[in-house]
Structure 1
């Protein structure tokens, strides 16, 4: 197994094992793993604990946001198979479209149930047993069940293939199995449920994200700091801590947090960029230049870093380098307000250089 060049961003805690253990395994095979979605992310893994923490609209919103970034989306089981910790399913030959045609299951629901391991296969091609499951799910949706209630319920019994032998029906916020004598919740006495697990870091991280979104940066910083101290491999918590401390003008604390994030993930382009911006604000031009250039080295398409390098060189009176950076920026963006400013900067640099004979 070679994961060189792969950068996994995990949204939500994993149900299988703690994130720090997954990070160690990915790193041992040459890849990277971090919370959330960064510029370097190649694959987003959706942890199944999201099903217990958020309603289905919030989860769908997070999935759509990841799709908009044009990265590969992977279920938790798909991730475990990539790590070699979960056996691969037997070969299958049923396409996504064929499964939809045969089951009448809505495509968006199919994709979400697939992403949260509602089928034996975590991606197409699907198996014949997946068609059986899809037909059962379509029936549940037709009677008012939400996709997240289905996904949340089916994981209470172990392997989803077990469901093919059950008759399912919709209950209140849960899915029930029915026989000739009674109804029972999936995961009830008759079905041997898996034990529930809790991820303390994920709880704090979610609270921190909410506080940050509400502009409560001091409160968010306290929570992110707790996350960072619990999990010494979590670069994202340290990075977010730096951003919050910067918002409340704690420059020294922010700098330390960014250094911590970069020590945990040296390829974290956004951390190089934000630390570079902090150093520039402090007048540490040489260090700011090094950090911004490192961000661009990691991600050559990082337009914000390229623009800021142009601005930094202009402030340092190096008109040639400023013009070169802004021209490079315009190769990436030629229509936004920042593009207009970059174009104006190029023109101003040209005029000033002409005056001084450059």
Structure 2
């Protein structure tokens, strides 16, 4: 890595380490760094300690004065120096996030400049979209952008905020809510607050969008929050199980499916998907019971009938496999799965004749 003579100016002290250490690192890479903005400055870095040293108006004036130079957040600067790991790949444009979140461009840019998002610059991630929607709600509730920027770094990586419900406690205080209570983002617990059904619906919509985009880890976090908000919601628990299964967290997926069935014992798809997971784990008897229960609840559930036939075939119970697959063909005679069922029946017949 080489900075090719680039000149950095730092506004506000860095939270990560003293500026003198940053000077050494920049110089070792062929660049220059000053503790202020000079005529030769090409990139202005805004340290996060500025949030606690200056009021919002002063910060906005200093940001305006630094333009049209390139502006860089503290995390962006650390990534440029290769002292902070790169963030995960992303593909969301700033314009798209603004359109979907309702956050104003000026506020978005200021929050990004003070590392209010996972990514400090375009392209952004789906988590950044979730955060932008949360921040837009806080702004609409009376919070200031500087209060958000000061608060979001008090409990760890900003990405972790996607699983929390955030609320304005006035213009200068941000509150978080989990299943049991409400706290300030510095961890101080407050009195419990009632859950909001509309908020659960918002989380569920975001979770569905993430799942459709195959962002299963993000979707799992959101579905888990929905499931915690409403202990009667079988669908969120079921969808959580699907997402956890997709990312290989099979033990947690099994718990989620079991939770869905406890909440709704007639949830046919939950019996089917749980049965499929148990089959993958080699738990044949349990898988058989779950798939059979799905068929008991829905006699025309072709996928369940096919899969229990496949399970019996794998278990060596060829007569049962043949019976299930024949039943499947009564429901579906033309698809690729129907052709596989016929082939399976033929193999089972041949093996049974040989064994007989």
Which residues in structure 2 correspond to 1:200-239 (within 5 Å)? none
Which residues in structure 2 correspond to 1:3-152 (within 5 Å)? 3-67=3-67, 70-152=68-150
Deviations 1:126-162 (A, max 9, x none): 1000000000000000000000000100010120001
Shift of 1:3: 1.0
Return 5+ residue gaps in structure 1 as ranges: 191-358
Shift of 1:189: 5.3
SS across alignment from 1:184: strand
Q: Distance in 2 between matches of 1:54 and 1:171?
A: 21
Q: Distance in 1 between matches of 2:69 and 2:10?
A: 12
Q: State the partner residue of 2:187.
A: 188
Q: Distance in 2 between matches of 1:180 and 1:73?
A: 39
Q: Distance in 2 between matches of 1:181 and 1:3?
A: 49
Q: Distance in 2 between matches of 1:92 and 1:164?
A: 16
Deviations 1:318-353 (A, max 9, x none): xxxxxxxxxxxxxxxxxxxxxxxxxxxxxxxxxxxx
Q: Distance in 2 between matches of 1:101 and 1:23?
A: 39
SS across alignment from 1:93: coil
Shift of 1:90: 1.2
RCO comparison, higher one (Cα < 8 Å, 6+): 1
Q: Distance in 2 between matches of 1:179 and 1:74?
A: 33
Q: Distance in 2 between matches of 1:129 and 1:181?
A: 24
SS across alignment from 1:119: coil
Deviations 1:169-202 (A, max 9, x none): 0013110001343220102157xxxxxxxxxxxx
Greater Rg by CA: 2
- Runs of 4+ residues over 3 Å off in structure 1: none
Q: State the partner residue of 2:160.
A: 162
Deviations 1:291-310 (A, max 9, x none): xxxxxxxxxxxxxxxxxxxx
Q: State the partner residue of 2:177.
A: 178
Q: Distance in 2 between matches of 1:57 and 1:186?
A: 23
Q: State the partner residue of 2:226.
A: none
Q: Distance in 1 between matches of 2:39 and 2:61?
A: 19
SS across alignment from 2:175: strand
Q: Distance in 1 between matches of 2:8 and 2:178?
A: 42
Q: State the partner residue of 2:235.
A: none
Q: Distance in 1 between matches of 2:21 and 2:91?
A: 33
Q: State the partner residue of 2:2.
A: 2
Please give the TM-score of this superposition, normalised by the length of structure 1. 0.52
Q: Does the C-alpha gap of structure 1 residues 60 and 187 become closer, same or farther in structure 2, counting only changes over 3 Å?
A: same
- Over the aligned positions, Cα root-mean-square deviation in angstroms equals 1.1
Shift of 1:72: 0.4
State the number of aligned residues: 188
Q: Distance in 2 between matches of 1:180 and 1:29?
A: 48
Q: Distance in 2 between matches of 1:64 and 1:189?
A: 35
Q: Distance in 2 between matches of 1:47 and 1:188?
A: 23
